[in-house]
Amino acid sequence: MPQPAADIYIGVMSGTSLDNIDVVAVRFTHAGYVESIARHSDPLPHDIKTTVITLSRGHPMSVKALGELDRRLGECYANAINTLLEQAALRPKHVAAVGCHGQTVYHQPSGDYPFTMQLGDANVIAARTGITTVADFRRKDMAYGGQGAPLVPAFHNDYFADSEQATAVVNIGGIANVSMICPDRPLYGFDTGPGNMLMDAWTQRHRHQAYDKDGEWAATSCAYQPLLNRLLSDAYFSRPAPKSTGREYFNLDWLDRQLLAFSLSPDQVQATLLALTAESIALAIRPLERGRVFVCGGGAHNQALMHALQQALPQWSIAQTDDAGISCDDMEAIAFAWLARQTLNHQPGNVPAVTGATQACCLGAIYLPY
Protein backbone atom coordinates (compact mmCIF):
# COMPACT_ATOMS: atom_id res chain seq x y z
CA MET A 1 0.00 0.00 0.00
CA PRO A 2 1.52 3.40 -0.94
CA GLN A 3 2.44 5.82 1.82
CA PRO A 4 -0.28 8.48 2.29
CA ALA A 5 1.70 11.38 0.90
CA ALA A 6 0.41 13.49 -1.97
CA ASP A 7 3.53 13.22 -4.10
CA ILE A 8 1.95 11.29 -6.96
CA TYR A 9 0.65 12.93 -10.13
CA ILE A 10 -1.70 11.38 -12.66
CA GLY A 11 -1.52 12.27 -16.34
CA VAL A 12 -4.45 11.69 -18.70
CA MET A 13 -4.12 11.73 -22.47
CA SER A 14 -6.44 10.95 -25.36
CA GLY A 15 -4.69 12.11 -28.48
CA THR A 16 -5.28 12.87 -32.12
CA SER A 17 -5.27 9.17 -33.01
CA LEU A 18 -8.52 8.79 -31.04
CA ASP A 19 -7.75 5.29 -29.86
CA ASN A 20 -7.30 5.12 -26.08
CA ILE A 21 -7.57 7.14 -22.91
CA ASP A 22 -4.17 6.62 -21.28
CA VAL A 23 -3.87 7.23 -17.55
CA VAL A 24 -0.48 7.07 -15.81
CA ALA A 25 0.44 7.65 -12.16
CA VAL A 26 4.02 8.82 -11.52
CA ARG A 27 6.37 10.40 -9.01
CA PHE A 28 8.94 13.01 -10.04
CA THR A 29 12.25 13.33 -8.21
CA HIS A 30 14.51 16.35 -7.93
CA ALA A 31 17.11 14.48 -9.99
CA GLY A 32 14.83 14.47 -13.02
CA TYR A 33 13.91 10.82 -12.55
CA VAL A 34 10.37 9.63 -13.27
CA GLU A 35 9.03 6.75 -11.21
CA SER A 36 6.07 5.05 -12.86
CA ILE A 37 3.54 3.85 -10.27
CA ALA A 38 0.70 2.47 -12.40
CA ARG A 39 -0.96 2.80 -15.77
CA HIS A 40 -4.35 2.04 -17.29
CA SER A 41 -5.94 2.46 -20.71
CA ASP A 42 -9.60 2.56 -21.70
CA PRO A 43 -10.70 2.55 -25.33
CA LEU A 44 -12.34 5.76 -26.49
CA PRO A 45 -16.01 4.95 -27.21
CA HIS A 46 -16.58 4.55 -30.95
CA ASP A 47 -19.39 7.09 -31.17
CA ILE A 48 -17.24 9.71 -29.42
CA LYS A 49 -14.42 9.02 -31.85
CA THR A 50 -16.80 9.43 -34.81
CA THR A 51 -18.19 12.68 -33.40
CA VAL A 52 -14.71 14.16 -32.83
CA ILE A 53 -13.69 13.33 -36.41
CA THR A 54 -16.86 15.00 -37.67
CA LEU A 55 -16.15 18.12 -35.62
CA SER A 56 -12.52 18.34 -36.68
CA ARG A 57 -13.54 18.27 -40.35
CA GLY A 58 -15.66 21.36 -39.83
CA HIS A 59 -19.12 19.82 -39.77
CA PRO A 60 -21.66 21.74 -37.67
CA MET A 61 -22.87 20.49 -34.30
CA SER A 62 -25.55 21.81 -31.97
CA VAL A 63 -24.58 23.45 -28.69
CA LYS A 64 -26.53 20.68 -26.93
CA ALA A 65 -24.49 17.95 -28.62
CA LEU A 66 -21.23 19.78 -27.92
CA GLY A 67 -22.09 20.19 -24.24
CA GLU A 68 -23.05 16.54 -23.93
CA LEU A 69 -19.78 15.50 -25.58
CA ASP A 70 -17.84 17.63 -23.09
CA ARG A 71 -19.67 15.98 -20.19
CA ARG A 72 -19.30 12.44 -21.56
CA LEU A 73 -15.57 12.86 -22.07
CA GLY A 74 -15.22 14.16 -18.51
CA GLU A 75 -17.01 11.05 -17.26
CA CYS A 76 -14.82 8.78 -19.42
CA TYR A 77 -11.67 10.37 -18.01
CA ALA A 78 -12.96 10.13 -14.43
CA ASN A 79 -13.88 6.46 -14.88
CA ALA A 80 -10.43 5.66 -16.28
CA ILE A 81 -8.73 7.47 -13.37
CA ASN A 82 -10.86 5.69 -10.78
CA THR A 83 -10.08 2.33 -12.39
CA LEU A 84 -6.37 3.08 -12.11
CA LEU A 85 -6.77 4.14 -8.47
CA GLU A 86 -8.57 0.89 -7.65
CA GLN A 87 -6.10 -1.33 -9.52
CA ALA A 88 -3.08 0.36 -7.89
CA ALA A 89 -4.64 0.54 -4.40
CA LEU A 90 -4.28 4.31 -4.44
CA ARG A 91 -6.56 6.75 -2.67
CA PRO A 92 -7.26 10.33 -3.74
CA LYS A 93 -5.20 11.67 -0.81
CA HIS A 94 -2.12 10.01 -2.33
CA VAL A 95 -2.43 12.13 -5.49
CA ALA A 96 -1.39 15.77 -5.66
CA ALA A 97 -3.19 16.43 -8.94
CA VAL A 98 -4.49 15.05 -12.19
CA GLY A 99 -3.17 16.68 -15.37
CA CYS A 100 -5.74 16.10 -18.11
CA HIS A 101 -5.04 17.17 -21.68
CA GLY A 102 -8.64 16.73 -22.81
CA GLN A 103 -9.75 15.68 -26.28
CA THR A 104 -8.87 18.14 -29.00
CA VAL A 105 -11.85 18.70 -31.26
CA TYR A 106 -10.48 21.69 -33.19
CA HIS A 107 -7.14 23.47 -33.37
CA GLN A 108 -6.86 26.76 -35.27
CA PRO A 109 -3.60 28.46 -34.28
CA SER A 110 -3.74 31.24 -36.90
CA GLY A 111 -6.23 33.70 -38.36
CA ASP A 112 -8.02 36.68 -36.87
CA TYR A 113 -9.19 34.70 -33.85
CA PRO A 114 -6.83 31.81 -33.10
CA PHE A 115 -8.24 29.19 -30.76
CA THR A 116 -7.92 25.62 -29.67
CA MET A 117 -10.67 23.51 -28.11
CA GLN A 118 -10.17 20.52 -25.83
CA LEU A 119 -13.24 18.89 -24.32
CA GLY A 120 -13.63 16.79 -21.17
CA ASP A 121 -15.23 18.65 -18.28
CA ALA A 122 -12.57 18.90 -15.57
CA ASN A 123 -15.23 19.77 -12.97
CA VAL A 124 -16.60 16.26 -13.49
CA ILE A 125 -13.13 14.75 -13.16
CA ALA A 126 -12.43 16.57 -9.88
CA ALA A 127 -15.86 15.76 -8.46
CA ARG A 128 -15.87 12.08 -9.45
CA THR A 129 -12.27 11.34 -8.40
CA GLY A 130 -11.89 13.64 -5.41
CA ILE A 131 -8.56 14.86 -6.83
CA THR A 132 -7.47 18.38 -7.77
CA THR A 133 -7.47 18.51 -11.56
CA VAL A 134 -5.46 20.73 -13.89
CA ALA A 135 -6.79 21.09 -17.44
CA ASP A 136 -7.14 23.55 -20.33
CA PHE A 137 -3.37 23.80 -20.76
CA ARG A 138 -3.16 25.21 -24.27
CA ARG A 139 -5.23 28.39 -24.25
CA LYS A 140 -3.00 30.44 -21.92
CA ASP A 141 -0.11 30.03 -24.36
CA MET A 142 -2.43 31.12 -27.18
CA ALA A 143 -3.52 34.14 -25.14
CA TYR A 144 0.13 35.23 -25.22
CA GLY A 145 0.31 34.82 -28.99
CA GLY A 146 1.56 31.23 -29.12
CA GLN A 147 0.42 28.22 -31.10
CA GLY A 148 -0.67 26.39 -27.96
CA ALA A 149 1.43 23.46 -29.20
CA PRO A 150 3.54 21.52 -28.81
CA LEU A 151 3.70 21.68 -25.01
CA VAL A 152 5.76 18.55 -24.34
CA PRO A 153 9.24 19.95 -25.22
CA ALA A 154 9.71 21.50 -21.75
CA PHE A 155 9.26 18.08 -20.13
CA HIS A 156 11.40 16.38 -22.77
CA ASN A 157 14.17 18.88 -22.05
CA ASP A 158 13.87 18.29 -18.31
CA TYR A 159 14.25 14.53 -18.76
CA PHE A 160 16.42 13.99 -21.86
CA ALA A 161 18.90 16.90 -21.91
CA ASP A 162 22.46 15.71 -22.57
CA SER A 163 25.44 18.04 -22.41
CA GLU A 164 27.39 15.91 -24.90
CA GLN A 165 25.04 15.27 -27.81
CA ALA A 166 21.93 16.41 -29.62
CA THR A 167 18.72 14.61 -28.74
CA ALA A 168 15.51 14.56 -30.76
CA VAL A 169 12.38 13.30 -29.02
CA VAL A 170 9.72 12.42 -31.58
CA ASN A 171 6.14 11.71 -30.62
CA ILE A 172 4.28 9.92 -33.41
CA GLY A 173 0.61 10.04 -32.55
CA GLY A 174 -2.05 11.14 -35.00
CA ILE A 175 0.17 14.15 -35.60
CA ALA A 176 3.94 13.91 -35.15
CA ASN A 177 5.94 16.45 -33.19
CA VAL A 178 9.61 16.80 -32.41
CA SER A 179 11.57 18.30 -29.52
CA MET A 180 15.15 19.23 -30.44
CA ILE A 181 17.38 19.33 -27.37
CA CYS A 182 20.91 20.47 -28.19
CA PRO A 183 23.80 21.36 -25.87
CA ASP A 184 24.82 24.38 -27.97
CA ARG A 185 21.50 26.00 -28.88
CA PRO A 186 18.12 26.81 -27.32
CA LEU A 187 15.41 24.18 -27.10
CA TYR A 188 13.06 24.15 -30.07
CA GLY A 189 10.31 21.94 -31.47
CA PHE A 190 7.15 21.86 -33.56
CA ASP A 191 4.55 19.64 -35.19
CA THR A 192 6.21 18.02 -38.21
CA GLY A 193 2.94 16.97 -39.89
CA PRO A 194 0.94 13.73 -40.09
CA GLY A 195 2.01 10.93 -37.82
CA ASN A 196 -0.29 7.91 -37.87
CA MET A 197 -3.41 9.83 -38.83
CA LEU A 198 -3.41 9.47 -42.60
CA MET A 199 -2.09 5.90 -42.52
CA ASP A 200 -4.82 4.93 -40.06
CA ALA A 201 -7.59 6.63 -42.05
CA TRP A 202 -6.45 5.03 -45.32
CA THR A 203 -6.28 1.60 -43.65
CA GLN A 204 -9.78 2.04 -42.24
CA ARG A 205 -11.13 3.03 -45.64
CA HIS A 206 -9.57 0.19 -47.64
CA ARG A 207 -9.03 -2.65 -45.15
CA HIS A 208 -11.65 -1.90 -42.50
CA GLN A 209 -9.01 -2.18 -39.79
CA ALA A 210 -8.17 0.41 -37.13
CA TYR A 211 -4.54 0.70 -38.22
CA ASP A 212 -1.77 -0.96 -40.22
CA LYS A 213 -0.15 -3.16 -37.57
CA ASP A 214 3.65 -2.93 -37.73
CA GLY A 215 3.31 -1.22 -41.11
CA GLU A 216 2.83 -4.66 -42.68
CA TRP A 217 0.49 -3.43 -45.41
CA ALA A 218 2.71 -0.46 -46.26
CA ALA A 219 5.69 -2.82 -46.47
CA THR A 220 4.02 -4.81 -49.29
CA SER A 221 4.60 -1.92 -51.69
CA CYS A 222 6.98 0.96 -52.35
CA ALA A 223 6.44 4.67 -51.94
CA TYR A 224 5.50 6.38 -55.19
CA GLN A 225 7.98 9.24 -55.43
CA PRO A 226 5.88 11.63 -57.56
CA LEU A 227 3.04 11.42 -55.04
CA LEU A 228 5.45 11.79 -52.12
CA ASN A 229 6.92 14.90 -53.75
CA ARG A 230 3.45 16.33 -54.22
CA LEU A 231 2.49 15.70 -50.61
CA LEU A 232 5.72 17.25 -49.33
CA SER A 233 5.16 20.31 -51.52
CA ASP A 234 2.31 21.35 -49.22
CA ALA A 235 3.15 24.74 -47.74
CA TYR A 236 2.96 23.42 -44.18
CA PHE A 237 6.19 21.43 -44.49
CA SER A 238 8.29 24.41 -45.62
CA ARG A 239 6.69 26.89 -43.22
CA PRO A 240 9.12 28.01 -40.53
CA ALA A 241 8.44 27.24 -36.89
CA PRO A 242 6.68 27.93 -34.62
CA LYS A 243 3.94 25.86 -36.17
CA SER A 244 1.34 23.30 -35.17
CA THR A 245 -1.36 21.40 -36.99
CA GLY A 246 -4.03 18.76 -36.55
CA ARG A 247 -6.80 16.64 -37.96
CA GLU A 248 -8.53 19.80 -39.23
CA TYR A 249 -5.81 20.15 -41.89
CA PHE A 250 -4.31 16.73 -42.54
CA ASN A 251 -7.24 14.41 -43.19
CA LEU A 252 -8.70 12.23 -45.95
CA ASP A 253 -10.17 15.30 -47.68
CA TRP A 254 -6.64 16.72 -47.97
CA LEU A 255 -5.28 13.39 -49.22
CA ASP A 256 -8.06 12.86 -51.77
CA ARG A 257 -7.29 16.24 -53.33
CA GLN A 258 -3.64 15.22 -53.77
CA LEU A 259 -4.60 11.87 -55.29
CA LEU A 260 -6.66 13.38 -58.12
CA ALA A 261 -3.53 13.63 -60.27
CA PHE A 262 -2.61 9.95 -59.83
CA SER A 263 -4.00 6.47 -60.38
CA LEU A 264 -2.40 4.28 -57.74
CA SER A 265 -3.26 1.08 -55.91
CA PRO A 266 -4.26 1.45 -52.24
CA ASP A 267 -1.07 -0.30 -51.10
CA GLN A 268 1.10 2.17 -53.04
CA VAL A 269 -0.70 5.02 -51.36
CA GLN A 270 -0.22 3.44 -47.93
CA ALA A 271 3.50 2.98 -48.55
CA THR A 272 3.74 6.61 -49.65
CA LEU A 273 1.90 7.82 -46.54
CA LEU A 274 4.38 5.97 -44.36
CA ALA A 275 7.22 7.60 -46.31
CA LEU A 276 5.56 11.00 -45.83
CA THR A 277 5.54 10.58 -42.05
CA ALA A 278 9.16 9.43 -41.98
CA GLU A 279 10.46 12.09 -44.36
CA SER A 280 8.60 15.00 -42.73
CA ILE A 281 10.09 13.99 -39.37
CA ALA A 282 13.54 13.62 -40.93
CA LEU A 283 13.28 17.11 -42.46
CA ALA A 284 13.07 18.52 -38.95
CA ILE A 285 16.06 16.58 -37.62
CA ARG A 286 18.39 16.39 -40.63
CA PRO A 287 19.81 19.95 -40.34
CA LEU A 288 21.84 18.63 -37.39
CA GLU A 289 24.54 16.19 -38.41
CA ARG A 290 24.13 13.46 -35.81
CA GLY A 291 22.81 12.54 -32.40
CA ARG A 292 20.17 10.31 -30.89
CA VAL A 293 16.45 10.04 -31.58
CA PHE A 294 13.95 8.69 -29.08
CA VAL A 295 10.52 7.84 -30.48
CA CYS A 296 7.29 7.60 -28.50
CA GLY A 297 3.60 7.34 -29.29
CA GLY A 298 1.83 4.66 -31.27
CA GLY A 299 4.15 5.10 -34.24
CA ALA A 300 7.05 3.75 -32.17
CA HIS A 301 5.45 0.29 -32.55
CA ASN A 302 5.35 0.52 -36.36
CA GLN A 303 8.46 -1.41 -37.35
CA ALA A 304 8.28 -0.36 -41.00
CA LEU A 305 8.08 3.28 -39.95
CA MET A 306 10.98 2.96 -37.51
CA HIS A 307 13.04 1.34 -40.30
CA ALA A 308 12.13 4.16 -42.70
CA LEU A 309 13.20 6.73 -40.09
CA GLN A 310 16.55 5.03 -39.65
CA GLN A 311 17.10 5.00 -43.40
CA ALA A 312 16.20 8.69 -43.61
CA LEU A 313 18.56 9.55 -40.72
CA PRO A 314 21.56 7.20 -41.10
CA GLN A 315 23.83 9.29 -38.85
CA TRP A 316 21.41 9.20 -35.93
CA SER A 317 20.80 6.37 -33.45
CA ILE A 318 17.06 5.68 -33.25
CA ALA A 319 15.30 3.91 -30.38
CA GLN A 320 12.05 3.91 -28.45
CA THR A 321 11.88 6.07 -25.33
CA ASP A 322 11.61 2.81 -23.37
CA ASP A 323 15.39 2.59 -23.78
CA ALA A 324 15.66 5.86 -21.81
CA GLY A 325 13.33 4.73 -19.05
CA ILE A 326 9.88 5.98 -20.11
CA SER A 327 7.39 3.80 -21.96
CA CYS A 328 6.66 5.08 -25.44
CA ASP A 329 2.96 4.52 -24.70
CA ASP A 330 3.04 6.68 -21.56
CA MET A 331 5.20 9.63 -22.55
CA GLU A 332 2.48 12.14 -23.37
CA ALA A 333 0.34 11.30 -20.35
CA ILE A 334 3.42 11.66 -18.13
CA ALA A 335 4.19 15.01 -19.78
CA PHE A 336 0.77 16.33 -18.74
CA ALA A 337 1.27 15.01 -15.21
CA TRP A 338 4.51 17.03 -15.22
CA LEU A 339 2.69 20.08 -16.56
CA ALA A 340 0.13 19.77 -13.74
CA ARG A 341 3.02 19.74 -11.27
CA GLN A 342 4.45 22.86 -12.91
CA THR A 343 1.08 24.58 -12.52
CA LEU A 344 0.69 23.70 -8.83
CA ASN A 345 4.24 24.94 -8.24
CA HIS A 346 3.47 28.20 -10.12
CA GLN A 347 6.10 27.40 -12.74
CA PRO A 348 5.85 27.96 -16.52
CA GLY A 349 4.93 25.03 -18.73
CA ASN A 350 5.38 26.52 -22.19
CA VAL A 351 8.57 27.36 -24.08
CA PRO A 352 8.13 30.62 -26.06
CA ALA A 353 10.83 29.60 -28.56
CA VAL A 354 8.72 26.53 -29.34
CA THR A 355 5.18 27.90 -29.38
CA GLY A 356 5.84 31.51 -30.38
CA ALA A 357 4.25 32.94 -27.22
CA THR A 358 5.52 36.34 -26.10
CA GLN A 359 6.39 34.99 -22.65
CA ALA A 360 6.68 31.88 -20.55
CA CYS A 361 3.62 31.36 -18.37
CA CYS A 362 1.94 29.02 -15.94
CA LEU A 363 -0.51 26.92 -17.93
CA GLY A 364 -3.92 25.47 -17.25
CA ALA A 365 -6.82 26.01 -14.89
CA ILE A 366 -7.11 24.32 -11.49
CA TYR A 367 -10.36 22.55 -10.56
CA LEU A 368 -10.73 21.69 -6.90
CA PRO A 369 -12.75 18.69 -5.72
CA TYR A 370 -14.43 20.65 -2.91
| Across 241-253, average pLDDT | 95
Structural domains counted in the chain: 2
Q: How confident is the model at residue 2 (pLDDT cuts 50, 70, 90)?
A: very low
Give the range of the structural domain holding residue 225, as residue numbers without chain letter. 153-324
Q: What are phi and psi of 170, to 5 degrees?
A: -115, 120
208: which residues sit within 8 A by CB, 6+ positions away? none
Query: Is the torsion defined by CA of 121, 123, 128, 133 positive or negative?
Result: positive
In this structure, are 163 and 304 located in the same domain?
Answer: yes
- Per-residue pLDDT of 73-104, as tens digits, reads 999 999 999 999 999 999 999 999 999 999 99
- Per-residue pLDDT of 198-208, as tens digits, reads 999 999 999 99
| Residue 300: inside a domain | yes
Beta pairing partners, 21:
42
Whether the predicted pLDDT of 151 surpasses 80:
yes
17: which residues sit within 8 A by CB, 6+ positions away? 173, 174, 195, 196, 197, 200, 298
In this structure, are 166 and 301 located in the same domain?
Answer: yes
**Residue 19: its pLDDT value, please?**
86
User: Which segments of the chain does DSSP mark as H helices, in order?
Assistant: 46-56, 63-87, 122-129, 138-143, 153-160, 197-207, 225-232, 235-238, 252-259, 266-285, 303-312, 331-344, 352-355
Annotated binding-site residue numbers for ATP: 15-22
The closest of 193, 216, 214 to 300, measured between CA atoms, is 214
**Residue 31: its pLDDT value, please?**
65
Residues of the chain above pLDDT 90, percent: 93
Whether the predicted pLDDT of 17 surpasses 90:
no
DSSP 8-state code for residue 322: G
Largest interatomic CA distance in the chain: 63
| Across 153-162, average pLDDT | 94
Tell me the three-class secondary structure of 24-57, residue by residue: EEEEECCCCCEEEEEEEEEECCHHHHHHHHHHHC
Q: What is the rounded distance in angstroms from the CA atom of residue 146 to the CA atom of residue 359?
A: 9
**Residue 59: its pLDDT value, please?**
87
Cβ contact 268:224 at 8 Å = yes
| Across 112-132, average pLDDT | 97
In this structure, are 72 and 98 located in the same domain?
Answer: yes
| Residue 348: inside a domain | yes
Q: How confident is the model at residue 123 (pLDDT cuts 50, 70, 90)?
A: very high
In this structure, are 252 and 344 located in the same domain?
Answer: no
Cβ contact 255:207 at 8 Å = no
**Residue 3: its pLDDT value, please?**
39
| Residue 294: inside a domain | yes
The closest of 11, 2, 5, 1 to 93, measured between CA atoms, is 5
Annotated binding-site residue numbers: 15-22
**Model's pTM, two decimal places?**
0.94
| Residue 357: inside a domain | yes
Q: What are phi and psi of 276, to 5 degrees?
A: -65, -45
Beta pairing partners, 10:
25, 98
In this structure, are 128 and 63 located in the same domain?
Answer: yes
208 class by beta-carbon count within 10 Å (0-12 exposed, 13-18 middle, 19+ buried): exposed
| Residue 283: inside a domain | yes
| Residue 1: inside a domain | no
| Residue 48: inside a domain | yes
CATH number at residue 13: 3.30.420.40
Whether the predicted pLDDT of 72 surpasses 50:
yes
The closest of 309, 357, 367, 324 to 144, measured between CA atoms, is 357
In this structure, are 116 and 174 located in the same domain?
Answer: no
| Across 308-324, average pLDDT | 97
| Residue 235: inside a domain | yes
Rounded to the nearest integer, the mean pLDDT of the chain is 95
Whether the predicted pLDDT of 5 surpasses 60:
no
In this structure, are 137 and 164 located in the same domain?
Answer: no
**Residue 1: its pLDDT value, please?**
35
Q: How confident is the model at residue 175 (pLDDT cuts 50, 70, 90)?
A: very high
In this structure, are 238 and 121 located in the same domain?
Answer: no
In this structure, are 140 and 167 located in the same domain?
Answer: no
Direct distance between the N- and C-terminal alpha carbons of the chain, in angstroms, rounded to an integer? 25
**Residue 112: its pLDDT value, please?**
95
- Per-residue pLDDT of 258-273, as tens digits, reads 999 999 999 999 999 9
In this structure, are 245 and 218 located in the same domain?
Answer: yes
Q: What is the DSSP code string of 240-280?
A: PSS----TTTSSHHHHHHHHTT----HHHHHHHHHHHHHHH
In this structure, are 287 and 248 located in the same domain?
Answer: yes
In this structure, are 236 and 312 located in the same domain?
Answer: yes
| Across 348-357, average pLDDT | 97
Angle at 189 between CA 186 and CA 190, to 5 degrees: 150
Q: What are phi and psi of 104, to 5 degrees?
A: -70, 125
Q: What is the rounded distance in angstroms from the CA atom of residue 131 to the CA atom of residue 312?
A: 45
Amino acid at site 297: G
The closest of 196, 261, 265, 251 to 230, measured between CA atoms, is 261
Cβ contact 324:338 at 8 Å = no
Q: What is the rounded distance in angstroms from the CA atom of residue 153 to the CA atom of residue 141?
A: 14
| Across 214-239, average pLDDT | 98
